[in-house]
Amino acid sequence: MAGHSFACYCGELFAGAPAVKHISRCEQRNEKSRLRQLCTEMRSSDPHALIFELIAEIQTSCNEHLSEEKITNLLEEGAKHHGRFVNRQDDPPDPSPLLPAVQGIEKGQTCDVCGIEKTGCMVLECGHITCEVHYGALLSETKCHFQSCSHQLTLKEAEKLSESLGVPKSEATEDSLICGLCGQSKYMSEMLFLDCMHNLCRSHILAVFEAQYMDSSSVQCPMPDCQYMLSSPEIEAIVGVERLAEIDTALAVKLVRELSSVTLINCVKCGFSAALERGKIDFNYKDAGGLKVGEEAAVYMSKHRFRCPSCAATQCATCGTAPYHDAYTCESYQLASSKPKCRYCKKPVDGQCSDADCQSRSNLQCMKTLPCGHGCFGVKEESECPACLQCAGSESENCLICHTEELGAAPCVQLACGHVLHKHCLMSVLERKWGGPRVTFKFAKCPACNAWIEGKGQEEVTALVKTYIALHDLVQEKAIKRLEFEKEDKLPRLEVPSDPYYHQPLKYAMDRFCYYQCFKCQAPYFGGKRDCQLVEDERQFDPAELVCAKCVSYMGGQTDCPKHGEDYTQYKCRFCCDLAVWFCWGTTHFCEPCHNIWEQRRDSPKEELPQCPGLPLCPLQVVHPANGEEFAMGCAACREELASQPHEF
């Protein structure tokens, strides 16, 4: 190895083992460069004839002129290894062996590289034979030279070659590295340098490859806490391109065999494809009617029911029925399908269904036949039948109110906006109204498009909703007046373009103020601001407690102004001798301090509340009931008008 000088693509010259380490790591290395080609030719033939071409190439690459001394040294290095000197360039080469045989080197063998039978040949672990002429090249390349052999020299082979060449052991092994896993010194050819900056010997990384690649087609660096996944070139460097191709082919064949036993199902609802997986047998499973399925149907369902992982719809993997026929096998389902079925529960029947709910729905069902030949899905005695759900393909869609039953499972109402709802679901919502203490109107609007509900051919529904629209208009009128009275109609936020209430004072008033429906007179009345309502909505309420000031029999003081009515009546705090500024839950007036401790005040008995000192010490300067009861102080609007008038003194 010491007899050769090597040139890297960067222009650096080396003699001996350092050349291998430098060339393998140099950033300017180029495997196809002329310098590498010339070095290879020097190793496989007489380098003496190529030395001057090599020097000229080095000069060109380095863009510098080599000194005469440097050229002479380079010539001497090349000549020494071949038994020559610079001044004997024309002498024929000496055919005699240049190096003595060493232990472990075979004699009288034919070199696989040059094809000449020579003594002093060495048998590598890959089985190829090389003569001593190629020892230096072997040690520098650290790999077998025979055609496409990929064998890398082991450290033991490198030591034998360096011993035969007379290279000191320390110089021959200075390019060895420490394996990051086992901690042993390995020759560079036995190492793999990963992009994660870990150096591992090939024996370890090969074991990792065998353990991981066959399962995941990937290899992770085995160093602790390293998440790096080896790149394709790094994996090819472990086993070779040809071997890796064989492994990938075997994996592909294995995958095809596995997939051949998998049943792929296409969801009839969303089109998503997924593998059919066998489920557990559930003998307690109940069908849509709440009845347990039979043992045969339960076993069959575990093998044939497919649930789409994308939309969660179920279907039969064999016959494609969707949703899956819970209580039947495919054969029994086909038999049952041929029999007449109940229009609502879909169960086979002989005559009329015995289910009480189905009979109730049948009594409300329109029995007309539509021009298309299908039965009407509307309600009995309607003035206009809705469009055919079966022709529109919406019979199996769920009702937008209950979300649990298909539209075809009950008589339906088609709204003026075109959406279809169950009649019994719609009437339940309209009769329940807003559901809480505060009056809202979302219930009277279509759940799909938010338009006011208007039943097509349903005068009963339309008339009921009209009463809610009238109530809505009255609340809007009161809310906008309250906004002006509270002096919030000029709020700066109403002029901010980015604010949700920009130029929408009516919307702000409807969201800001709470109105309740009096239990006695059914009129809406102001019940405070929405801040408190958010808390009160979480509590149960008694509708009988929601009574306006006009209808409160126990209310003391003046509650009804001849000019402004009861909407602007001012009250004292229910719990102390101060004016109320809060009206919460439609029942209770608070001053600011009491409102801050509303839970304590609300739950305290009357005897524990602050006691009125009586006249002339009472801050209100009026005679009123004991604290704990509501009391009206008169019309605040009249007081406001009086205060704004000029006074004569």
Residue 110's SS3 state is strand
334 Rama class: left (phi>0) / alpha (psi -120 to 50) / beta: alpha
C-beta separation of 215 from 251 below 8 A: no
C-beta separation of 591 from 574 below 8 A: no
Residue 479's nearest CA partner among 459, 505, 448, 441 is 505
Query: What's the sign of the alpha-carbon dihedral 551, 557, 563, 568?
Result: negative
Residue 105's SS3 state is coil
Distance between CA atoms of residues 189 and 168, nearest Å:
19
Distance between CA atoms of residues 331 and 112, nearest Å:
74
Distance between CA atoms of residues 121 and 114, nearest Å:
12
Active site annotation includes 388: no
Distance between CA atoms of residues 588 and 207, nearest Å:
80
Active site annotation includes 319: no
Distance between CA atoms of residues 12 and 403, nearest Å:
80
Q: Output the 3-class SS for 414-450.
A: EECCCCEEEHHHHHHHHHHCCCCCCCCCHHHECCCCC
Backbone angles phi and psi of 113, in degrees to 5: -85, -55
Q: Which of 584, 591, 612, 635 is catalytic?
A: 584
Distance between CA atoms of residues 133 and 97, nearest Å:
8
Pairing of strands 122-123, 13-15: unpaired
Q: Which of 532, 576, 594, 635 is catalytic?
A: 532
* Residues acting as catalytic residues: 532, 584
